[in-house]
């Protein structure tokens, strides 16, 4: 945006604009002056975490004798708000009702903040034409859809309506937190209910709104939405093939079903589906967790869009063309992700030297990518638990900061989001 455009934007009289346009003009003015909304959203995460910490520390949330220590209460709150969803030695099923409801509401709160914060940034970077109001409404509609689908299709096999709704809300928010028995990797409820909900949350509101607009107007898809769908489908196929052929067993129907579920689940959904014992599969899962989903969604990780932007920037540099500032931002985010994984791994090795290194690597990538998959329920206590809290929070907050950094770099031109 040029200086003249900034002055024009600042000279607009709010009274002469409709309410929605006035709010958008005020927002654009603040962004033009360098004020990043990312810090307000990060503040919302911190507020939710603090509220969750106080709730989980209260004796009413736990059965007598199982009250949470400060490190456990902090871990439980961060685990829910960042949508990581690690399983713990004390399952949510064993909480009292105030604790169960707190975990449920924190998951919903974390999902809504993530979808709105990332969705607004991506809509600006990719120039999808989605308004802030539509993204906010879309986040509420997605949560309502998850609650409705969960209440109708998931109950059964010992699951109550509340447990079913909890699982559906966790699926659409890419959180591994669950209450009650989770359908198996080959159960129809996993493939017809939970994973499709995870796909909706993993595509992000800008893409979903573009699809809705294309259907309503009977027009072609926005280029960013088309790219996202193709990239997501291609990565799913690659993950499916790799997991199918590297997993053990001779029952191909079961292998393909489990691989299909895990090819989506490992992309930061993190529902507690079995990861198997084959080490090659574990390393494939580490790669899938690290890459994650796409920008602007509930997913974590480096993001497919970031990897694609780095690839296109390298090709441009090899041709002698300027790769652009967004390419540099993508490299910074990739380096930041790798540094965070390395620092977290070193800290956990220092605080938990008895843990196998390969399992710690799996746990660290899962935490930084906000996945929530692990070999066993997380039993780390003390300093190691605070290390995981920091990894989960930074894994959620840093990509958001990178996205809004990209918004300030990209003004008039359309770009691929990173972060």
Over residues 58-63, the mean pLDDT reads 88
Tokens of 48: 């939710």
Tell me the DSSP string of 37-82: THHHHHHHHHHHHHHHHHHHHSGGGS-TT-PPPHHHHHHHHHHHHT
Please determine, for residue 161, whether its predicted confidence score (pLDDT) is greater than 70. Answer: yes
In this structure, are residues 292 and 204 in contact, taking their beta carbons and an 8 Å threshold? no
Please determine, for residue 253, whether its predicted confidence score (pLDDT) is greater than 90. Answer: no
Intra-chain end-to-end CA distance of the chain, in Å: 22
Please determine, for residue 52, whether its predicted confidence score (pLDDT) is greater than 90. Answer: yes
In this structure, are residues 395 and 270 in contact, taking their beta carbons and an 8 Å threshold? no
Whether residue 235 is contained in a domain is answered as yes
At 357, the pLDDT band (50, 70, 90 cuts) reads confident
Please write the tens of the pLDDT for every residue from 203-226. 999 999 999 999 999 888 999 999
Torsion of CA 104, 105, 111, 112, to 10 degrees: 150
Amino acid 37: pLDDT: 86
Please determine, for residue 105, whether its predicted confidence score (pLDDT) is greater than 50. Answer: yes
Whether residue 5 is contained in a domain is answered as no
Please write the tens of the pLDDT for every residue from 378-414. 988 889 999 999 999 999 999 999 999 999 988 778 8
Please determine, for residue 134, whether its predicted confidence score (pLDDT) is greater than 90. Answer: yes
In this structure, are residues 115 and 206 in contact, taking their beta carbons and an 8 Å threshold? no
Residues with Cβ within 8 Å of 310's Cβ and at least 6 positions away in sequence, in order, are 327, 330, 331, 334
DSSP state of 267: I
At 8, the pLDDT band (50, 70, 90 cuts) reads very low
In this structure, are residues 68 and 62 in contact, taking their beta carbons and an 8 Å threshold? yes
Number of domains into which the chain is organized: 1
In this structure, are residues 293 and 174 in contact, taking their beta carbons and an 8 Å threshold? yes
Amino acid 11: pLDDT: 43
Whether residue 158 is contained in a domain is answered as yes
Please determine, for residue 152, whether its predicted confidence score (pLDDT) is greater than 50. Answer: yes
Q: How many CA atoms are closer than 13 Å to the CA of 65, on its beta-carbon side?
A: 1
Window from 22-26, 33-37, 101-105, 177-181 with minimum mean pLDDT:
22-26
Over residues 305-329, the mean pLDDT reads 94
Strand-pairing partners, residue 88, are 378
At 21, the pLDDT band (50, 70, 90 cuts) reads very low
Whether residue 417 is contained in a domain is answered as no
Whether residue 387 is contained in a domain is answered as yes
Over residues 190-211, the mean pLDDT reads 94
Strand-pairing partners, residue 156, are 159
Whether residue 231 is contained in a domain is answered as yes
Q: What percent of the chain has pLDDT over 70?
A: 91
Which residue's entry shows tokens 């008039």? 412
Whether residue 399 is contained in a domain is answered as yes
Whether residue 30 is contained in a domain is answered as no
**Mean residue pLDDT across the chain:** 89
Give the structural domain span for 78.
36-409
Over residues 316-334, the mean pLDDT reads 94
In this structure, are residues 76 and 56 in contact, taking their beta carbons and an 8 Å threshold? yes
> What is d(CA 169, CA 165) in angstroms, rounded to the nearest whole number?
6
Amino acid 255: pLDDT: 85
Q: What is the largest CA-CA distance in the chain?
A: 70
Over residues 270-288, the mean pLDDT reads 91
In this structure, are residues 336 and 398 in contact, taking their beta carbons and an 8 Å threshold? yes
* Radius of gyration of the chain from its Cα atoms, rounded to whole angstroms: 21
Amino acid 381: pLDDT: 85
């Amino acid at each position: 945006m040029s200086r003249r455009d900034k002055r024009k934007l600042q000279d607009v009289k709010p009274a002469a604009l409709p309410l929605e346009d006035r709010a958008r003009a005020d927002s654009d003015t603040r962004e033009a002056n360098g004020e990043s909304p990312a810090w307000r959203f990060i503040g919302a995460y911190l507020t939710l975490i603090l509220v969750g910490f106080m709730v989980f520390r209260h004796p009413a949330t736990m059965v007598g004798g199982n009250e949470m220590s400060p490190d456990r209460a902090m871990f439980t709150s961060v685990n829910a708000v960042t949508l990581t969803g690690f399983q713990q030695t004390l399952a949510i099923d064993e909480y009292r009702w105030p604790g169960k409801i707190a975990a449920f509401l924190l998951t919903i709160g974390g999902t809504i903040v993530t979808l709105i914060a990332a969705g607004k940034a991506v809509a600006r970077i990719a120039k999808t034409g989605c308004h802030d109001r539509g993204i906010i409404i879309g986040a509420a509609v997605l949560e309502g859809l998850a609650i409705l689908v969960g209440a109708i299709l998931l109950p059964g096999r010992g699951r109550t309506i509340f447990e079913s709704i909890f699982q559906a809300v966790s699926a659409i928010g890419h959180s591994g937190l669950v209450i009650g028995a989770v359908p198996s990797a080959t159960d129809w409820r996993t493939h017809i209910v939970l994973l499709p909900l995870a796909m909706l949350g993993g595509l992000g509101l800008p893409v979903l709104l573009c699809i809705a607009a294309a259907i309503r107007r009977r027009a072609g898809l926005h280029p960013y939405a088309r790219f996202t769908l193709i990239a997501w489908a291609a990565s799913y196929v690659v993950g499916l093939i790799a997991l199918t052929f590297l997993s053990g067993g001779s029952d191909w129907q079961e292998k393909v079903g489990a691989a299909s579920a895990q090819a989506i689940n490992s992309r930061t959904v993190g529902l507690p589906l079995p990861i198997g014992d084959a080490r090659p599969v574990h390393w494939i899962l580490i790669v899938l967790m690290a890459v994650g989903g796409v920008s602007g969604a509930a997913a974590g990780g480096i993001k497919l869009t970031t990897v694609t932007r780095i690839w296109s920037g390298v090709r441009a540099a090899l041709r002698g063309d300027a790769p652009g500032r967004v390419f540099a931002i993508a490299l910074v985010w990739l380096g930041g992700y790798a540094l965070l994984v390395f620092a977290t791994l070193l800290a956990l090795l220092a605080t938990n030297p008895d843990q196998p290194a390969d399992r710690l690597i799996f746990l660290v990538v899962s935490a930084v990518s906000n996945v929530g998959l692990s070999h066993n329920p997380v039993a780390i206590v003390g300093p190691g638990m605070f290390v995981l809290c920091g990894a989960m929070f930074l894994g959620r907050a840093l990509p958001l900061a990178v996205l809004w950094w990209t918004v300030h770099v990209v003004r008039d031109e359309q770009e691929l989001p990173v972060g």
